[in-house]
């Protein structure tokens, strides 16, 4: 099991386009991936889960993956967040 | 049968009745749990397919931004948490798939709606849409999707919503007949811009025809021929041919100036409602844009547009016109145009209420953002600013003060703009037309908005089909106000344009030319025809008739006079 904590730095947080990019990226991996915020777990492959989490700019979230490609999954999702989802402005 | 012809052209084809399906779900115990799960899986597969088709079509016909919404829908339909939630409900409570879908969707919708976030509230709407689609499929209710029509047809509906028309596959739609609406309703405007013949205000057409009936419609006359005879069909074919020949003749108008037979030069410009309409302006050889409505920027999202988003849209049009003028109208919301997220109060008399400039002068945050975006874009082309719904001089001064403040801000921030940007007002309230000699001293141009000017002058709600016969652009009082406005504008040395439907009316163009109108702004598809009329009209020949026309007692007299003496 791998996990890493990240802080959302992009303007919209895990909303709108970033939320769908995040879910789409997570869906590329076979591992079971969860996002943890305020001690609650959300399925990283579920747009509804991610949206109902309501994570905004500045929030800290933990990404946790379990499975054969868990390490790559964490690496790629953390990179997406740190690159601010390639948002403009 | 007869209605109001709202988009010219004739069509012969099969009727397709377009109705929103009504969906009701009752709580029912499932007899066979596995069967319910299988039904659910199948419905999801089908829903995803439909959404995918909508995505592709919107991408091809409209654009990437608009298509993105269907990607969001697809993700929701395929969402593992959602699907698992529905399946658990089916298993645990032994209920039908449709009841489980409804319950689980409602749980998420209420989560989304209860989080203080505009974006999530918007997703709640998406989820409603997706769950309706699933329910419709589960219940076996035939969907009707105007974007995936299989054969050419004439659409018959109560009315069409903007989302219906946005999805319309125009290649399959020969004509549109609606029970509601009139010349200026949404469906009519879209039909004209897509050049689809249309008739509005046809009472009980849905009860009269059935799917597959062959009918002929004439969008100029507003007539519908049910069960056409061989003779009717022959006549239709002849007329269709004539219309195509005329269309060919209009193409020859391209690249020629809009100069009357006796040498008066006017400008023929386009009304557009989206920056993407720029193509149709160029295709139809417009000499500019006389009305760029900005409401789309506010309606396409569930939040206010940013300065940057607006700037890009305005700049796109200004640059695309390569120096030709574009008159951009500031936000004209309220009345019949609602923006849900703004939570505008419901009013008894929305057309006389809190709308357009009245709202902007109250919500100066919204107004200032738009003015800044307009000014910034003015550095990239020939932009003019126009304020809608002005009713007194104070409003002009307050609006101009906001503009000056925006200019000062930009100057301080070292951002370029055109400091001499022209500022004008819409003349659409009789109070302004009557006082136009004084208003003309305050601004750079007038643009007469006849749709509202008629409605306010004759006190007729233009969307109310029971009184649509009273709404008439040949009403002598309206024509007098138009003439007065043009003359007062010219006395003060400013130019006067018109951006209402009347500017593109072939019967009124000669009159307006004779009154001295400088700019005619209309639906892009009418521009070449308008030029054709201008080129074949002599201003000097009509001028002496004006007094006579304006002294005629009724609108019907005016129209008859024009038919007999001018258009012939």
* Eight-class DSSP state of B2: B
Residues of A in contact with B82 (CB under 8 A): 46, 48
What pLDDT score does B187 carry? 77
What pLDDT score does B515 carry? 98
Q: Do B76 and A23 make contact, defined as CB atoms within 8 angstroms?
A: no
Helix or strand holding residue B485 (H, E): helix B476-491
Note if the pTM is more than 0.90.
no
Q: At A87, is the pLDDT very low, low, confident or very high (cuts 50, 70, 90)?
A: low
Q: Do B80 and A12 make contact, defined as CB atoms within 8 angstroms?
A: no
Q: CATH second-level architecture of B4-19+145-234?
A: 3-Layer(bba) Sandwich (3.50)
Kindly report the CATH number that applies to the domain delimited by B251-567: 3.20.20.60
Kindly report the CATH number that applies to the domain delimited by B33-138: 1.10.274.10
- Taking the Cβ of residue B236 and every Cβ of chain A, the question of whether any pair is shorter than 8 Å is answered with no
pLDDT of B89 above 70: yes
Q: Do B112 and A15 make contact, defined as CB atoms within 8 angstroms?
A: no
pLDDT of B10 above 80: yes
Give percent of chain B above pLDDT 70: 96
Output the six-digit token pair for A17: 């386009």
User: Distance, in angstroms, between B73 CA and closest chain A CA?
Assistant: 10
What pLDDT score does B203 carry? 92
CA–CA dist B261, B525 (Å, integer): 22
- Taking the Cβ of residue B123 and every Cβ of chain A, the question of whether any pair is shorter than 8 Å is answered with yes
Give me the mean pLDDT over the B273-280 stretch: 87
pLDDT of B375 above 60: yes
User: Distance, in angstroms, between B489 CA and closest chain A CA?
Assistant: 44
pLDDT of B162 above 60: no
Give me the mean pLDDT over the B332-354 stretch: 82
B302-to-B299, B309, B367, B388, B551 alpha-carbon distances in Å: 7, 14, 18, 23, 50
Q: For B15-72, how does the pLDDT look when each residue is reduced to its tens digit (9 = 90+)?
A: 999 987 778 888 888 889 999 999 999 999 999 998 888 788 777 766 676 677 788 8
ipTM: 0.81
Which single residue is written with the structure tokens 């012809």?
Answer: B5
pLDDT of B276 above 90: no
CA angle B308, B312, B314 (to 5 degrees): 115
Q: Do B108 and A52 make contact, defined as CB atoms within 8 angstroms?
A: yes
For B76, the closest of A16, A43, A47 (CB atoms) is A47
CA angle B266, B184, B221 (to 5 degrees): 85
Q: For B492-547, how does the pLDDT look when each residue is reduced to its tens digit (9 = 90+)?
A: 999 999 998 899 999 999 999 999 999 999 999 899 999 999 999 999 999 999 99
Q: Do B79 and A24 make contact, defined as CB atoms within 8 angstroms?
A: no
Residues of A in contact with B305 (CB under 8 A): none
Give me the mean pLDDT over the B115-137 stretch: 80
Q: At B186, is the pLDDT very low, low, confident or very high (cuts 50, 70, 90)?
A: low
For B120, the closest of A20, A49, A51 (CB atoms) is A51
> What is the Rg, in whole angstroms, of the alpha carbon atoms belonging to chain B?
26
Give me the mean pLDDT over the B396-424 stretch: 97
Residues of chain A whose beta carbon is less than 8 angstroms from a beta carbon of chain B are: 12, 15-17, 20, 23-24, 43, 45-49, 51-52, 54, 89
Where is average pLDDT lowest: A5-14, B28-37, B178-187, B493-502?
A: B178-187
User: Which residues of A are known catalytic residues?
Assistant: 15
Q: At B429, is the pLDDT very low, low, confident or very high (cuts 50, 70, 90)?
A: very high
Which has the higher per-residue pLDDT, B244 or B548? B548
The mean pLDDT value of chain B amounts to 91
* Intervals of CATH 1.10.274.10 along chain B: 33-138
- Identify whether the C-beta of residue B271 lies closer than 8 Å to the C-beta of residue B499: yes
- Taking the Cβ of residue B308 and every Cβ of chain A, the question of whether any pair is shorter than 8 Å is answered with yes
Residues of A in contact with B115 (CB under 8 A): 52, 54
What pLDDT score does B156 carry? 95
CA nearest neighbour of B436 among B387, B490, B476:
B490
Q: Do A12 and B108 make contact, defined as CB atoms within 8 angstroms?
A: no
User: Distance, in angstroms, between A79 CA and closest chain B CA?
Assistant: 22
Q: At B166, is the pLDDT very low, low, confident or very high (cuts 50, 70, 90)?
A: low
- Identify whether the C-beta of residue B305 lies closer than 8 Å to the C-beta of residue B275: no
DSSP secondary structure letters along A57-71 = TT-EEEEEEESTTHH
User: Distance, in angstroms, between B76 CA and closest chain A CA?
Assistant: 7
User: Distance, in angstroms, between A75 CA and closest chain B CA?
Assistant: 23
Walk me through the domains of chain A, giving residue ranges and CATH numbers. 2-82 (3.30.1340.10)
Output the six-digit token pair for B33: 């749990």
Roughly how many angstroms between the first and final C-alpha of chain A, as a whole number? 35
Q: At B456, is the pLDDT very low, low, confident or very high (cuts 50, 70, 90)?
A: very high
pLDDT of B101 above 60: yes
pLDDT of A89 above 60: no
What pLDDT score does B301 carry? 73
Question: Residues near B375 by Cβ (< 8 Å), separated by ≥ 6?
Answer: B403, B406, B407, B410, B417, B418, B421
């Amino acid at each position: 099991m791998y996990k890493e904590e990240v802080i959302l730095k992009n303007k919209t947080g895990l909303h709108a386009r970033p939320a769908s990019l995040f879910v789409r990226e997570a869906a590329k991996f076979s591992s079971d991936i969860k996002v943890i915020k305020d001690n609650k777990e959300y399925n990283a492959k579920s747009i509804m889960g991610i949206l109902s989490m309501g994570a905004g700019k500045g929030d800290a979230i933990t990404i946790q993956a379990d499975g054969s490609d868990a390490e790559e999954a964490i690496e790629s999702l953390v990179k997406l967040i740190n690159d601010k989802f390639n948002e403009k402005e | 049968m007869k209605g109001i012809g709202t988009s010219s052209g004739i069509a012969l084809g099969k009727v397709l009745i377009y109705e929103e399906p009504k969906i009701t779900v009752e709580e029912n115990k499932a007899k066979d749990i596995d069967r319910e799960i299988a039904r659910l899986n199948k419905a999801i597969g089908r829903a995803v397919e439909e959404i995918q088709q909508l995505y592709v079509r919107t991408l091809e016909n409209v654009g990437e931004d608009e298509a993105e919404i269907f990607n969001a829908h697809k993700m929701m339909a395929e969402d593992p948490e959602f699907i698992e939630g529905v399946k658990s409900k089916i298993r645990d409570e032994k209920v039908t798939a449709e009841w489980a879908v409804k319950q689980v969707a409602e749980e998420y919708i209420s989560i989304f709606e209860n989080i203080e976030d505009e974006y999530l509230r918007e997703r709640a709407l998406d989820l409603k849409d997706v769950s309706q689609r699933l329910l419709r499929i589960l219940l076996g209710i035939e969907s009707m999707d105007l974007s995936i029509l299989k054969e050419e047809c004439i659409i018959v509906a109560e009315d069409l919503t903007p989302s219906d028309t946005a999805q319309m596959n125009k290649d399959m739609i020969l004509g549109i007949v609606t029970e509601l609406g009139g010349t200026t309703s949404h469906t009519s405007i879209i039909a004209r811009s897509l050049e689809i013949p249309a008739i509005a205000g046809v009472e009980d057409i849905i009860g009269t025809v059935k799917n597959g009936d062959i009918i002929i419609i004439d969008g100029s006359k507003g007539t519908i021929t049910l069960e056409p005879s061989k003779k009717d069909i022959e006549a239709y074919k002849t007329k269709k041919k004539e219309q195509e020949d005329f269309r060919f003749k209009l193409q020859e108008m391209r690249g020629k100036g809009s100069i009357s037979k006796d040498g008066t030069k006017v400008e023929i410009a386009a009304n557009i409602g989206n920056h993407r309409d720029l193509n149709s302006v160029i295709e139809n050889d417009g000499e500019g844009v006389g009305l760029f409505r900005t409401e789309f920027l506010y309606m396409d999202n569930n939040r206010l547009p940013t300065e940057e988003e607006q700037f890009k849209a305005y700049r796109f049009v200004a640059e695309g016109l390569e120096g030709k003028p574009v008159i951009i109208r500031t936000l004209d919301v309220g009345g019949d145009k609602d923006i849900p997220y703004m939570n505008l109060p419901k009013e008894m008399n929305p057309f006389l209420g809190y709308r357009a400039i009245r709202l902007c002068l109250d919500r100066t945050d919204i107004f200032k953002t738009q003015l800044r975006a307009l000014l910034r874009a003015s550095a990239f082309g020939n932009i003019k600013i126009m304020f809608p719904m002005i009713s007194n001089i104070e409003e002009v001064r307050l609006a101009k003060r906001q503009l000056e403040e925006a200019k000062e801000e930009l100057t301080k921030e070292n951002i370029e703009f055109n400091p001499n940007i022209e500022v004008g007002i819409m003349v659409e309230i009789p109070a302004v037309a009557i006082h136009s000699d004084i208003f003309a001293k305050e601004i750079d141009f007038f643009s007469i908005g006849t749709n509202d000017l008629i409605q306010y002058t004759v006190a007729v709600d233009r969307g109310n089909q029971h009184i649509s016969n009273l709404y008439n652009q040949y009403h002598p009082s309206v024509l007098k106000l138009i003439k007065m406005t043009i003359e007062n504008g010219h006395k003060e040395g400013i130019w006067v344009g018109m951006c209402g439907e009347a500017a593109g009316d072939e019967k009124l163009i000669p009159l307006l030319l004779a009154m001295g109108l400088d700019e005619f702004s209309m639906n892009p598809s009418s521009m070449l025809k308008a030029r054709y009329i201008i080129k074949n009209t002599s201003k000097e020949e009509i001028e002496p008739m004006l007094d006579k026309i304006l002294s005629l007692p009724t609108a019907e007299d005016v129209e008859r006079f024009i038919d007999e003496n001018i258009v012939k």
